[in-house]
Chain A
Amino acid sequence: MKDLVDVSGEVRVNDFVIKIGNVNGTGSASANGLLMKAIFRMGVPVVGKNLFPSNIQGLPTWYEIRLTKDGYMARSGTAEFIVAMNAETYKQDLAEVSPGGFLLYDSTWPRPDLHAREDVTAIGVPLARLVNAAFDNARTRVLMKNMAYVGAVAGLTGLDVEVIRGLVKEMFGTKEHLIDANMKAIGLGLDYVREHFADPLPLRIEPMDKTAGHIMIDGNTAAALGCVYAGATFGAWYPITPSTSLMDGFKGFCEKFRVDPETGEKNFCIIQGEDELASVGMAIGAGWNGARAFTPTSGPGISLMSEFIGFAYYGEVPVVLFDVQRAGPSTGLPTRTQQCDITLAAYASHGDTKHILLFPANPKECFEMAVQSFDIAERFQAPVFFMTDLDIGMNDWMIPELEWDDSYQPDRGKVLTADEIESLEKFYRYEDRDGDAIPWRTLPGTHPKGAYFTRGSGHNWKGGYTEDSDEYKEVLDRLTTKWKNAANAVPAPVITRCGQNARRAIISVGGCDGAVLEALDRFAENGVNLDYLRVRGFPFNAEVDQFIEQYDEVFVVEQNRDGQLRSLLVNETEAPKHKLVSILDYAGMAANPKFIIEGISAHLEALGDVA
């Protein structure tokens, strides 16, 4: 029996990171998901991040599971325990282990070099040998090796094997032979570490009660569910990472909830377009015709859709665009996250165009804001951008259970019925009858008197073609007013005050939220007082302006190179430019608090100031 050395000298309970390095295409996702879900079922809050390549098979991939007893939502940026299953990245993985941490590797092939770091304990488990002796088929051996490391991790950390067994049973249902095979593989890893190592690691998993009332779900799935509850009936899309799972989710939910059991009729229509231009065109056509319509895409798709977006803006056609942002420019890093389409979406298309944007920060908000997006699009007769990103969209997040109020009725906006049209002397499509800059619209086929012509060319308030300067300007000015009014319809910002009369504050957006909140705790511990506002909609609510006014300096935290949120704040609020200090992270990884703490600390040090 070999004793494990605890170089750091402290026992950490439910507060460390397990990072698994593997080869893409080896089926490790289900093993990693199993590990994370087992921890979640033990009542321990978790953060899971999948770092995957733009590849089908062969390139390295990592999965990070952060156990966070304090319930933080971001990555920690540390790696206390690395399960290195990819020999190609051994060197890199060893270098990344946090001081005092552990590295588990497959010792079927001896690797003395992995024991080179004095401050890291390397643990060899001959996984391939164990699995090859127990299973015959080559593909089975690959899959079962993943299960074997789950067992080894469980044995080393105290993860409850019965919880794992329960999950495996749920995973395979009535397929007893698969349950047996997987549990056998888990047992191989578990038994080996119990036999060969005297003590478990000082990284301990112990039961808690902090996950009750919560679920683990990714943002794309939650947004898709939001589309279903919003009553969206039409979706068009062109496959693009990282948005694809949104339409997969919508399709799955619709097949479950929207198919008439008797007739087989489908109360939804999903069309895979020939490209993004066609996809948004279809959604606009359906929106024009009165169906709640959307298209999920990513940055390259928004670029392609831009001409059509301007058409929907000027023709005043409701449509919802889900932009699951990924790292650009150009093809960029398709499997990495960023918030790099903020300015693109805000002003998408040529000419004077301004759009309505919603910024969810987590899957719970993805569900809620998806519903709001359709309401706002139809109320304002305009394209609405739902600005999510790869981290929110594709990673499983722990969130409070989703809630629904059955009294909800969709806001279909100002649409005239046949009777209402009949009672009008004359219908003019772009007439501001109510003085709120939102005209009434009619749907094709409703009534001959309600007919009008939707065009992207110059038009007047009657909907007729015009080249007359005054008539043209009148419509353009109304569109500005309409857009400004949307500031009160988009979700209000969330403000967190430290209660210490802070002179400085943070403004951030979307998926940075978890990292900002964690950074604020660290700052508070060090006596640095900062307030925090999270933007959730554009055009900016008046509260954003008022907030900035209260501070000497505001740090704008976001995940892109150019400070796009800051640019929008400079452009669309009264804030003086010098007051807004960019704190940026554009590495493509899910945010962790480090860049915020380091960026703000460096700024304060340079000023010789602490708070």
Chain B
Amino acid sequence: MTSMSKPFIDKHLPKNKLGLSVRNYEGVMSTLCAGCGHDSVTAALVQAFWELDLAPESAAKVSGIGCSSKTTAYFMGQSHGINCVHGRMPSVATGANAANGELNYIGISGDGDSLSIGFGQFAHAIRRNLNMLYILENNGVYGLTKGQFSAAADYGSKSKKGVENDQMPIDPCVQALTLGAGFVARAFSGDKSQLVPLIKAGLKHKGFALIDVISPCVTFNDHKGSTKSYAHTYKYYHPLVHTDFVAHADEVTGSYDKDGAMRVTMQDGGELFLRKTESNYDPRDRAQAIETLLMNKTEGEIRTGLLYLNSDLPDMQAANKLPKIPLNQVPYERLTPGKAALAKLQSRYR
């Protein structure tokens, strides 16, 4: 089979500031299973990009291998995408970002791609504070190879065949926090109202923005005894911080400040409003964020939202003092020292 494009009809759909409808932000037809959580994430990405009025070609989509990685073909067909080798998307994103930091880098990965084969690259991209939105579509299972546990599967969670997982899980949010990520969020594919603002905020965050999205696998991990099923997630998920993102400060309505929301101005412009559901939680306290996540583990709670934010860290571009003009556009004349310099330089080798 080959990929299928969708019929394009958007006559009656609302347009954003660029005169585009959400249809302009879609890609080819998804080939994932009906009801897959990943398709909801794809829809949220389309919505977020459309709402932010971003030109579709301003995105660069990067992914590795797996069901989640396939989804980069399903949104923003008018932007470049690269679907590389298993677990190595962060390195490709790093090089691409170094070549041109002006694009919006969106990495889509899964729990196998990021936490097993690509655990090292995941960690080191965070350490470099690569400016990208990194969405980890987490279903605790390997789908394309038919249902093996992933490294995110909870201890004691049952496979479709009833086998209990006897290894401890890797929590990508805890890992990201310990590695110094400036934007760490957890979401649920079943709650678009939470996910869309998080994606918008993550895109605007200058630095590494992780959203770990619990995204159930309807075929291999949606049964009783699984801790990554729709039923389980609906039952235990608990938004800790509500996030609203407003792209332009002039659009901010008065209500935010009144209800005690925390207001954060993003480096790229736009305002972030964080509303806590628990009075003692401070999303700027890294230690508390880690403690909360570890505590959740024992309680079985799935706390979601923007768990941690620090927008003061220099990103990879800044740390490497890269020029304002993207490296891939610096004219050759500025890169070559020329004939005279070569002649002069060689005196040191005589």
Interface residues of A (CB under 8 A from B): 40-41, 214-217, 225, 228-229, 231, 233-234, 236, 253, 256-258, 260, 263-271, 273-275, 277-291, 293, 307-308, 311, 315, 401-406, 408-410, 442-457, 460, 464-468, 471
Contact A452 B80 (CB under 8 A): yes
How far, in angstroms, from A6 to B237 measured CA to CA in the complex? Answer: 92
Contacts of A225 in B (CB 8 A): 342, 345
Contacts of B120 in A (CB 8 A): 274-275, 278
In chain B, residues 65-89, which have Cβ atoms closer than 8 Å to a Cβ of chain A? 72-73, 77-85, 88
Q: A274-B124, A285-B82 are in contact. Are A234 and B88 (CB under 8 A)?
A: no
Task: Return the chain B residue nearest A452 by Cβ.
Answer: B80
Contact B342 A404 (CB under 8 A): yes
* Interchain CB contact (< 8 A) of A265 among B57, B94, B322: B322
How far, in angstroms, from A403 to B343 measured CA to CA in the complex? Answer: 8
Q: Which are the 4 A-B pairs with shortest beta-carbon distances? A: A285-B95, A281-B91, A286-B95, A282-B95
Contact B79 A444 (CB under 8 A): yes
Task: Return the chain B residue nearest A447 by Cβ.
Answer: B57
Contacts of B8 in A (CB 8 A): none
Instruction: Tell whether B334 is near chain A: CB-to-CB under 8 Å.
Output: yes
Contact A290 B335 (CB under 8 A): no
* Interchain CB contact (< 8 A) of A464 among B2, B93, B124: B2
Contact A287 B339 (CB under 8 A): no
Instruction: Tell whether B350 is near chain A: CB-to-CB under 8 Å.
Output: yes
* B97-105, B222-230, B302-310 - interface stretch: B97-105
Contacts of A451 in B (CB 8 A): 56-57, 77-81
Contact B2 A471 (CB under 8 A): yes
Interface centre among B93, B96, B121, B338, by most chain A C-beta atoms within 10 angstroms, is B96
Contact A269 B320 (CB under 8 A): yes
Contact A274 B332 (CB under 8 A): no
A-B contact list, 8 entries, CB within 8 Å = A216-B349, A274-B121, A285-B93, A289-B99, A291-B100, A402-B342, A443-B100, A445-B79
Task: Return the chain B residue nearest A229 by Cβ.
Answer: B336
Contacts of A308 in B (CB 8 A): 84-85, 88
Instruction: Tell whether B260 is near chain A: CB-to-CB under 8 Å.
Output: no
0 or 1 for each of B311-350: is its CB under 8 Å from A? (1 = yes): 0000000001111100111101011111101110110011
* Interchain CB contact (< 8 A) of A453 among B55, B81, B100, B323: B81
13 more A-B residue pairs beyond the given contacts A286-B95, A286-B96, with a C-beta to C-beta distance below 8 A = A231-B336, A233-B328, A234-B95, A265-B324, A281-B90, A289-B60, A289-B96, A442-B80, A448-B55, A451-B77, A454-B80, A454-B81, A466-B3
Contact B335 A409 (CB under 8 A): no
In chain B, residues 29-64, which have Cβ atoms closer than 8 Å to a Cβ of chain A? 55-58, 60, 62
Contacts of B335 in A (CB 8 A): 228, 231, 233, 258, 267
Contacts of A256 in B (CB 8 A): 337
Taking the closest CB of chain A, its distance from the CB of B67, in whole angstroms, is 13
Contact B349 A215 (CB under 8 A): yes
How far, in angstroms, from A271 to B124 measured CA to CA in the complex? Answer: 11
How far, in angstroms, from A460 to B1 measured CA to CA in the complex? Answer: 11
Instruction: Tell whether B170 is near chain A: CB-to-CB under 8 Å.
Output: no
Taking the closest CB of chain A, its distance from the CB of B281, in whole angstroms, is 33
Instruction: Tell whether B174 is near chain A: CB-to-CB under 8 Å.
Output: no
Taking the closest CB of chain A, its distance from the CB of B47, in whole angstroms, is 19
